[in-house]
Amino acid sequence: MAYLGKNALRVRGTYSGRLYAFSPAKKVYWVDLDDSRVMLRTRYFRRVA
């Protein structure tokens, strides 16, 4: 999962409850599949291969 924003962002996974901390320095994270489905509905994330 890649974060497209310019500011730091913390997101709690809807399904896993994990805390993901995105920032300009750390834009790519491995995200639980169920959490990613919810996050991809926003304009702040995109899937990476």
What is the pLDDT at residue 49? Answer: 79
**Greatest distance between any 2 Cα atoms in the chain:** 26
Q: What is the pLDDT of residue 28?
A: 93
Mind listing the pLDDT tens digit of every residue in the chain (49 residues)? 999 999 999 999 999 999 999 998 989 999 999 999 999 999 899 999 7
Burial class (CB in 10 A: 0-12, 13-18, 19+), 47: exposed
Q: What is the pTM of this model?
A: 0.82
Please report the DSSP string for 1-49 in residue order. Answer: -EE--SS-EEEE-TTT--EEEE-SS--B----HHHHHHHTTSTTEE---
Phi, psi of 35 (to 5 degrees): -65, -40
